[in-house]
Structures are given as C-alpha cells and as structure tokens.
Structure 1
C-alpha cells in the first residue's frame, strides 16, 4: 500500500539542506513511498535541488504566514484554505514539522492527525510529538547546549542508527568526484562567501578583503559570492585573480562553483551546507546565536572556528545572551585553516578566546562530532560530550551498560518512575489517585530543582516540561505509563551525567513555560 509523508520546512536555506537526509530516511527506514516538502516560496530553488523530494508545496510568507506571526486584523483564511485543500487531497499519512512557528503548528495539525514535531492535539493544545524533535525544541531555548548537528537531530527522529555516510546531505546533481579524489593544484580555487543572515554571524568586510589579498599573494584564485549589499561590494579588490560574483549567482551557479573549487571560506550560512553536499572542504567562521555543535557543515575534515561564549557553563541560558561575534576570529586563523586544508597538514594559528574544530564521524554516538585541533573550551566541551551520550542513550533506548545506575540524577529519575507506577496501579480511584499524584508532583519538583542547579542542564528541564505537556494517553493510567517510560529511559542514561563538574550559577533568568516560547 502506498504511503505519503509531508515535511514542513518553513525555514532557511541551510536548514532545508540539512533536512535532506531525513527525507531519504523516511523512504529507506520508515517505509514511505512518497515524501513531499512544504516550504516558503522564496526557497523553491534550493528545494528543487534536494535529491529525495517528490513534490514541493509552496506557501507565501507575506500572504499566509506573516498575519499569523504578528498581531493582525486580517487573517489569511483563503490562502490557508487553498493549502489545506491541497494537503487534504494528498492524504498524507504522516507529517513532520521541522519548524517552531505557530503557522507551521496549525498546518501540521490540519495536514494529518499523524503529525510529529510542533503540532496541536485533538483539543487544540500545543504539543510536541517525537522525542528528538522535542529535544530540538528544548535546545532552541538554550542554543549553546545543543550537542547534536541539526542533520543528526532530524535523522534521529526517524532512523537513529542510520550510518554516518548516509547522513551526509545530497543534491540531485550527481557528484563528479569525491573529496578523496580532489587534487590541489599550484593555483587553488577558493570560494569566499561573504554574507550572513545576522550581524553577529558576519565576518567583517575588511577581514575578508585582507584574507583575499593574502590568498592571492600565495598564488590562489578567489571567487567572491554572496548577497549584494552596500556593506560588501568589495570594489577595491581588482586583482585579475579575483572574480567578483557577489549578487550574481543562483543556487545552480553556486553548485557549479563548488564542483570546480578547492575550498570554501564562509560564515555560518546556507552556502556552507551547499559546499558540504558537494564534498567541498569548508572553513566555517561561526558566530551569532547558533553554535558549531549544531550548525557545522556536515562531513569529514571540515574546519569550524568558533569564538567562546563567556561563562557559558555558569550562565543560565537566555536567548538574548547566547551570541559571540564572528569578528573575534583573526584573519591569520582563517588563513592558516585554509592552508591546512589546501596543503594537507599546515599548523593552525590560533585566535584568543576561540577554538578551531575539525568535523569527524562520531566515535560513540552516530553522526558528526567536533574535535578541537587548536584552542580549547575544555569545560564546555566536556559537558557537550557527556550530554551527547546522555541524550542519545535516553532517546534511542540504548542505555550505556546493563547495570542499573545509582547516581544522584538516576535516583531522582527513579523516584519519579516509582510515583508513576503508583498512579498506574490506583487508576481512577479518586482518594488514592490524589495521594499518588502528590507524590509524583513532589518527585518532579525535586528532580527539576536539582537539574536547575546546573545551567547546562536547564534544557533538560525544558524537555521534561514539554514532554509532560505533550502526553497522548487517553486516561490517567495511560499518561502515567508514558511518563514512567520517559523517566526510566532518562534514569538509565543518567550515569553519563554523574561525573560532570559542579556549575556555579551567575544568572537567575529562566523560561518558566517553554511551550509558550517561540524557538
């Protein structure tokens, strides 16, 4: 029997590319015969290049999405009716919403009762289905503590054991050559992508100009790409070995350039992921609210340079204070990273307060991981490494070892498990149910209180609150059973957290209700 899935990706260029392995996994691992993609119309060009998409459903931001995203007297009922009619005709068996907006939540609920990600339950309440998409929502409220690349979050939502090589995003155009067959000539061709979506992500124009001059002095040919603006015309670069294509390239042009180049240097941006699809080595300069563990270009041996977020281990996560400007990264650091990839083995010149990471296949957890090769943010990296193991074990049902853990966090999770068992046992018996519910509330308050002592674990509390608000059981016993399974899996994975250092809190701001926050 034919089955159809819809992926809602009303998001940015890079996120769409990172969703491509999920679309393939829906076919290869989840058994769907057809997978469609719903996008905002301005991204139809890149969506058309994704290898596994059957049909593209377009939605207009100005007509349909903006009135629902802000206060408006005009509701886009006609536009929504057209989209809903098309989705109803398609009869999707499953919908995966990868977007955290109210319009996408409504669309997911209307498209199929079997919707995952942010959606609405039968009573119209916001819920988040699928444990990995729930993790994505929770860590969007604490961006520095996302321990997984976005590709891996998406893939794990469907196929957590999918091999690394199959997770690398693909485009429709076949690869003419693999990375191992690239040969660097005496005149390497370097793409410099000069623009980013946020000011903190933007590496300053004078630094790009200086890097361009240094690359030319070393014999390279340089092509400049990016969106045209008054801040990045780079008209002063008139050398014959500089090809200025700023504002002149389509997505297809960019793909062709990636296939002929030897290296791309870029800020955290969509073209970094286009390059990674084409197995083009990338030097990515991180900055802004997203962080390297989540946004690094997927593959082997790409280099990611990330400025440290000060006091990140001791700061309670706040979406307003998670940015470290890309301008901290020096020109010499970027140049030496480029030379390392072009010349196979040059050492890296560090930047103060920055780490250079190399992407690699995960050792203990499937997917891409970051390995520091210059500079270190040791305490942060230790937390990320252990959180990565904790979450993978908890959300895939792969506890690390068969011996029941007995540490402080596991004991607190186990108390919640016992309280859930009490509720399952008493069922709808009102007096006993009241007492059992009080025990569960007390156990959850103790658990949350201990987790909140550690700023890196605040996203765990956000996850738990989202999970508690998203129960699908039709009665008290069914909901208690869901919670018991959740706490049991977290308890078994809890041993990954037992040796983590104490984290001194320096801020008291927190999200009280993560379900009300727009990630």
Structure 2
C-alpha cells in the first residue's frame, strides 16, 4: 500500500478546501491518505474525510492558555511527530507557510515533499508554491484555492467530481452570522434586512442562525431586528452546535446565507446551495464556494481584495452595495436594474482548470486578464504551451516573464484529470 500525507494546519475552511487534493490521492490504486491537522478540527475531519488516517497536532492552541499551549506543543506534538516519522510516505503535501509546517517537513526526505520543505537546515519552497507567490500581488486574477492545492497532483480529480451539485433539501434558511475576519462580515443592521427579505421571498418555514460562542450576542441582536413573522421561525443556534449537529443542520437547508466562512465551504462539501456575500479580503475567484449551483454577491471596489491585517483607508467602501437601501429590493426582485452600484452577482461554474465564477449581473473588469492567467496556468500544468488562445498570446508572454522560471517547465509533470 502507498501512503500519502497531507499536512493542513490552517483552520476550518482550509481543511474543507483541501478536498480535491484528498479525493485525488484517495482515488489512486492501493492508496492510504493521511491527514495532519490541528487537533481542534479532528472531529470535523472524521466527518468530512472518514477514510483518512488522522494525525492531530497542536497548531493553534485552541482552547488552551499560553503556558498550557506551549507545554502541549512540546510534549504532545513530539509524540505525533514521532508517529509521522515512522511512516514511509510515498509523497508529502505540506500546504501551509508556517514555522511548524517547515519543522514537520524536516521529518521527511525533502525529495518527497511538495509545498514547503526543509533541506540541510534551509526552509525551501517547491516550484508550484513559488509560482503562486509570484502571482499573489494579482489576487483579483487568482485561481481557486481548492484547485491550487489539487494541482500538486498531475492526476487531479476532475473538479465536477469533488462536491455534489447544490440542491435544496427542504430545511429552510441558514444564516452564518459572521466570519473570523470582522470586515468581511455584514453588520447586524444590514444582515437583518437581508435575512428578512430572503426569508419572505423564499417562504422559508425555518431560519437557523449559525456561529460560534462569540456570535451568540450578534444572533440575539439580529433576532430583535427581524420582522416579527421571521422572528417566530428563527432559532439562534450560535455557540450551541457541535460539529455533528452543524453538519446535520447545514445538510438539511434550502439555502445558506453567509460571508466567506468555513461553514460556507462545509455547505459546498455537502451540496447545500450557498448565497455568499463577499467583501473586504474575500474574493470569490480565490475562495468562493466550490461546486455548481452557488451564487456570490461580490463587491468590486478598486481596493479589493485587501488584507484585514492592515487598516482600511477607504471607509469600508466595499460594504456600500450591501448597506444601500435599495439592496433588499434587488434581493426581492433579482432585477439587474435594481442592483446597487459596485455589486457583481456571480454564479459558480467550471472550466478545464477548475472552479470559476461567471458574472450574471454587473461587470467583471478583470475577465480578460483572468482568462489569460487561467490559460497560462493550465498550459503550465498540462505541459501544453499551445493551449494558450492566440488572442491572448501577448498577455501570455507578459505572464511568462512575470510568473515563470525556465526550470518550472522542466520539472512539471503534465496534469491529467480523473474524469470518472
């Protein structure tokens, strides 16, 4: 049996977005997939990846104070590292740029590691990850994170086979109150108008508010602002659901209203339709819900996508379309004439590279450049330089000069997707 290790030490959403890579490895003959992840996400991983062998480590110290986290990382992680080092892995996919990831990489033969590796005391980055860093200053053109991680494998599973197509299940409306990054979430007064409108238009018989313990107060505040008829059908489940119940709730819904969150990616994994609100650091072409049948309302301010670690110098301009008094009317009618300025409505779809989004309302000013980058990347991954469309040849040359190193072509194993 061949053993493959995926090291994914980031958080909830990233764990779900690793799915195309994981299912690709699992589809190989006589394979066993191992997943190294933060200990707090082990129960979720057992639900999402039931056939994977899990190796939990303490990456974030969730639920531990400072001294306890340090002790646990020194003692518990040492045991986990010893277990990982005992396996003869065929390949290791080390997905995160962090000190702990580099230390984990030191356990293995660097010639077997993709992503972030350790060789002779040096932290190194493999060609595909390095290429992505070179296009990171063009995030509006970027590819979906699910497809980026899957592209470490030349036999990547066809994108259409990763998640089920979205379909309503009769359980009403779910509402994710907020994401981990505050600026990418809708304020309570804005969200209440959205929820009230969508619940009325769709005739929802049930509304469930979702979030962690920190969102309980926001859920109560939202309840107070909802119309009485919607209040009567709404449950504030923030902070009250374990992983099993969260999965059960999301799996039952007709629609999930959400910012860019882990719960959004869970819904896509389950095939629950998503209506997502993307602003601030969230950009649907990077981290939109993966699969067919999802819709994203994406603001298009010139400063997007930003970094939330930096202050906003534009007065949260990206919130404007959602706070516009006419936005609820647009939600009710779907009439393009009612769409606020600065809003682009996108529907999820696939191309040969993977997940992308097609604007159905509003203008995607980056469409031509994004198409050029996607064609360039597809040509890089498949080894087919002729796949670049002739009308984009000048753009391809520019991209090659900016993003490519000659050795990248030499080391590339052409990609072929598994289609059935």
Residue 34 (structure 1) aligned to one of 32, 42, 46: 32
**Runs of 5+ unmatched residues, structure 1:** 68-72, 171-177, 341-345, 414-446, 452-459, 465-480, 490-519
State the alpha-carbon separation in 2 of the partners of residues 4 and 223 from structure 1: 41
Residue 98 (structure 2) aligned to one of 82, 98, 101: 101
Secondary structure of the 1:257 match is helix
Equivalent in the alignment of 2:209: 224
TM-aligned CA deviation for residue 37 of structure 1: 0.8
Equivalent in the alignment of 1:249: 241
TM-aligned CA deviation for residue 89 of structure 1: 1.9
TM-aligned CA deviation for residue 391 of structure 1: 1.4
| Max Rg structure | 1
TM-aligned CA deviation for residue 282 of structure 1: 0.6
Aligned pair count reads 395
TM-aligned CA deviation for residue 400 of structure 1: 2.7
Equivalent in the alignment of 1:9: 8
State the alpha-carbon separation in 1 of the partners of residues 304 and 178 from structure 2: 27
State the alpha-carbon separation in 2 of the partners of residues 43 and 165 from structure 1: 26
Q: Does 1:372 align with 2:359?
A: yes
Equivalent in the alignment of 1:398: 384
Larger relative contact order, structure 1 or 2 (CA cutoff 8 Å, min sep 6)? 2
Output one character per residue of 1:152-205: Cα deviation in whole Å (capped at 9) or x when no partner. Answer: 11222114663232232x7xxxxxxx646x477xxx711111110112211111
Output one character per residue of 1:444-476: Cα deviation in whole Å (capped at 9) or x when no partner. Answer: xxx5xxx4xxxxxxxx2xx65xxxxxxxxxxxx
Q: How does 1:11-410 map to 2 (within 5 A)?
A: 11-29=10-28, 31=29, 33-51=31-49, 53-61=51-59, 77-113=74-110, 114-121=112-119, 123-129=120-126, 131=128, 133-139=129-135, 141-142=136-137, 144-159=139-154, 162-168=157-163, 179=166, 182=168, 189-218=172-201, 219-221=203-205, 222-229=207-214, 230-233=217-220, 234-236=222-224, 237=226, 239-310=231-302, 320=310, 327-330=319-322, 333=327, 336=330, 349-362=338-351, 365-378=352-365, 380-401=366-387, 410=397
CA contact (8 A) 1:13 1:43 kept: yes
CA contact (8 A) 2:198 2:332 kept: no
State the alpha-carbon separation in 2 of the partners of residues 97 and 24 from structure 1: 16
Q: Alignment RMSD, CA only? A: 3.8
Equivalent in the alignment of 1:482: 407
**Runs of 5+ unmatched residues, structure 2:** 415-420
Q: TM-score, normalised by structure 1?
A: 0.66
CA contact (8 A) 1:36 1:53 kept: no
